[in-house]
Structure 1
Amino acid sequence: MQKLMKKSSLPAYRRSVLLVAAALFAGAVHADDLPDMFKVSGFGTLGTVHNSLHTGDYVADVFQPNGAGYTHSSAYGVDSKLALQLDAKLSENLSAVVQMVSRYRVNRNYLPSVEWANIKYAITPELSVRVGRTAMPTFMNSETRLVGYANPWIRPPIETYSLRSTTNADGIDVSYRRAFGAVNNTTQVWYGKTEVASVAYTGGVSNGVRATKIIGVADTIDYGALMMRAGVTAIDFRLNGAAGTFIYAKANVYNLGATYDPGTWFVMGEWTKTDFGAIQRAQQAKYVTAGYRWNKFTPYVTYSRVGVDDNQVKLALRAQDTKSAGLRWDFMKSMSLKVQFDQVQLDAGSAGFFTNAKTGLAGSEAKVLSAAVDFVF
């Protein structure tokens, strides 16, 4: 049930990110051997996207105000990004990390933002706790969704990963790892909060969208070349209402994923259901990707789909499917070149995950050609 409440001042939980970053560097002040304590790394993508349609913008997520199609025939901001990460080993059991990422966002620039800033304490070799800003583990590839080099595609399937585009949260998570013979099991539990500004399919920006409480649990099983994962995330969120009010609502996100990768070839897929309760019909998303590694080349194909749980067209604003084919070339150490073709079919009455939607976009087909260089250092 929706509730209308008057606006109140923002909570102070975001200060935790700065406190974690300060603690990281405060610990370093007393270090005797700084080179051994710190490790600097990073990743990035230089990409371009061309969209055959001119009635809407193809974007990577709901945080981009424009992309390829209506605003620009070809766009560089859809996939391009640069990240820098600092890891610190503060003691045998205590470590910390700060990651800054620059990418095209709602504010129409590439100003860096704090993606991660947390302290991790290993209570035992199997049990650890992280406090601060961490990756929000809603999906199977949440930890690496921004690292193009770590993924087969240029971007994770939009139909699944744009259901929950938020990549991090401020809070605490606990991980427990246990081996049972050849089987490794990892259970992760998390609690957090976050606030974002997102872009609607019309191009309008909604500021102050806040997840006031995020609680989740996931279990991952690794057995040789097989990895399986199941997770559920419950979110209490707040949207801007009319006349200075807020709308409070709840959502549950269910996710199942699996990967089989014996080395020469691989297949992977996920199923996700997002239930928004009273404010929107539940949505289901799924994708499957298969690829084959031949020397330094990896051709791959993907089918991805998102839709609603019924046939009420007026509620199908995010209904589309994509057929993709791509090629990855690892042309030098820590760098890869990818080319990907996407055929995106929008359902009748749906603008899908396009933004700046104009008359004639719904129900149409887009041909999207992308190229990207991914690197890590």
Structure 2
Amino acid sequence: MNKQILALAGGLLVCASLPVQAVEVMVSGYASFAGTYSDSENATTGASVPYYFELADDTARFDTEDNDIGLQFSTAVSDKVDMTVVLHAQGGADNYDIDTQWAYASYHFNNELELRMGKYKGPFYMVSDYKDVGYAYPWVRPPLEVYSTNPIEALSGLDLIWQKNVGNLRYLFEIYVGNGTHGARVLPQVGDNSTEVSAGDSVSFETPNSRGINASVSGDIGTFRLGYYETDVSASSFGLIEESGSFGSVGFTIDWNDMVAYSEYIVRDTEDTTEMQSAFPDQEAYYLTLGYRVDRFLPYVTYAKIDEGDFKSQVAQVQESVALGLRTEVGDASAVKFEIMNAEPQANSSGGTYGLFNKGTVEDGNIYTVTFDTIF
């Protein structure tokens, strides 16, 4: 994907100084519509086993969480201050209920330094803050082996961003603090062994004392990024009271002579208590995507893996997958994507083999996805 596309898509969710009157409101948006199917089966009975809660099963699905739409409203209050609000609706369990993903005011000290206050998407991983904008990346969805490890969507607080161009390089450094209330789904391996919660239940949890950094350097051929985020976690359903957790990540993108590459490695490290390791076990994960652009087509292949972390929790997820995909540009700001992924759960140290499937009885499964992504 070329740099103009990335800039256009990223601009939907990044507030910039707008040369408009305070009464003028700029409106933009994004949308993704998807269909999924999975042939994964119970290795013994042959019964269908859904993938990643209800993301895909043995019927064609057009109502999963891969479907979403968002509208951004921006206005300049003065030369120094602007406002941004993003309303978002997602399919799947959320049933297109509208929520506010972004709602913040920005103060621009100068062309390089900006302070945001309010609600903002956390830059936890490489595409976390624009994960909902399907048009902005090559895949039908960011690799779940990595992006399923952090259920936190947004924080309310302060976000200080410094950006500077030096020659052909652009440097970014971001430091943010805040808190929030979120929802996470109970892992199947937890729900199957609990009388208190069931697999797939949405469990509320809070993240007081959140803080993180995000740093990157971008040039003509790509971007290199580092990120670190830590927080306290409270969740009454799991008996958690301000126990600690952290997320570290390193990644890069390359777009050079029609060759495209994305890669990222993350570590989730949480407090070594029974309660915390049941709710949010230690995990490591990574992926590598390679593609080659031919005119308006971008075929790609992705290898991804999620594995146990330092603490060998009995509910840790272990899985590897290989995906073949094709992105086709169908307009100046629209794309159709096709992907076939083979996912293979593997045993963790306790013998559990759930991977990202709903039951630990799958040897492997194929997940088929088609999406239409656009920005407007």
- 1:193 and 2:189 correspond: no
**2:5 aligns to what?**
none
Could you list the runs of 5+ residues in structure 1 that have no partner in the other structure? 1-30, 60-64
Alignment of 1:1-377 (within 5 A): 34=23, 37-54=24-41, 55-59=48-52, 66-69=54-57, 72=59, 74-104=61-91, 106=93, 108-202=94-188, 203-241=199-237, 246-278=240-272, 279-280=276-277, 282-309=282-309, 312=312, 315-348=314-347, 349-354=352-357, 357-358=358-359, 360-361=361-362, 364-377=363-376
Task: State the secondary structure of the residue aligned to 1:74.
Answer: coil
Contact 2:354 2:361 in 1 (8 A): no
Contact 2:282 2:311 in 1 (8 A): no
TM-score by length of 2: 0.82
The number of aligned residues is: 331
* CA distance in 1 between partners of 2:25 and 2:33 (Å): 27
* CA distance in 2 between partners of 1:353 and 1:78 (Å): 15
Moved over 6 A (4+): none
- Counterparts in 2 of 1:317 and 1:180: CA distance versus 1, 3 Å: same
* CA distance in 2 between partners of 1:269 and 1:359 (Å): 28
Map Cα deviations across residues 38-81 of structure 1 (whole Å, 9 max, x no partner).
Answer: 1111111110110112553224xxxxx633227x5535313111
Map Cα deviations across residues 157-215 of structure 1 (whole Å, 9 max, x no partner).
Answer: 00111111322111110011223333221110000111122211333424321111210
Map Cα deviations across residues 246-297 of structure 1 (whole Å, 9 max, x no partner).
Answer: 4331111111011111251211101101101213353111111111111111
Percent sequence identity over matched residues?
23
**2:8 aligns to what?**
none
Contact 2:71 2:86 in 1 (8 A): yes
* CA distance in 1 between partners of 2:232 and 2:130 (Å): 25
Contact 1:51 1:74 in 2 (8 A): no
**1:19 aligns to what?**
none
Contact 1:234 1:252 in 2 (8 A): yes
Could you list the runs of 5+ residues in structure 2 that have no partner in the other structure? 1-19, 42-47, 189-198
Q: 1:150 deviation in Å?
A: 0.8
Q: 1:110 deviation in Å?
A: 1.2
1:360 maps to amino acid: T
Q: 1:123 deviation in Å?
A: 0.7
Contact 1:122 1:128 in 2 (8 A): yes
Contact 1:259 1:268 in 2 (8 A): yes
* CA distance in 1 between partners of 2:310 and 2:64 (Å): 35
Map Cα deviations across residues 98-124 of structure 1 (whole Å, 9 max, x no partner).
Answer: 111110354x52111101101111011
* CA distance in 1 between partners of 2:268 and 2:21 (Å): 49
Q: 1:376 deviation in Å?
A: 1.0
1:283 maps to amino acid: Q
- Counterparts in 2 of 1:224 and 1:73: CA distance versus 1, 3 Å: closer
* CA distance in 2 between partners of 1:260 and 1:124 (Å): 30
* CA distance in 2 between partners of 1:136 and 1:56 (Å): 32
* CA distance in 2 between partners of 1:359 and 1:231 (Å): 32
TM-score by length of 1: 0.82
Task: State the secondary structure of the residue aligned to 1:57.
Answer: coil
1:57 maps to amino acid: P
Map Cα deviations across residues 347-373 of structure 1 (whole Å, 9 max, x no partner).
Answer: 12132233xx34624xx2110000011
* CA distance in 2 between partners of 1:350 and 1:211 (Å): 29
* CA distance in 2 between partners of 1:183 and 1:264 (Å): 20
Q: Pairwise CA RMSD of aligned residues?
A: 2.1
Map Cα deviations across residues 303-333 of structure 1 (whole Å, 9 max, x no partner).
Answer: 1111013695x62532111101100111223
* CA distance in 2 between partners of 1:223 and 1:146 (Å): 25
* CA distance in 1 between partners of 2:302 and 2:241 (Å): 37
Q: 1:217 deviation in Å?
A: 0.9
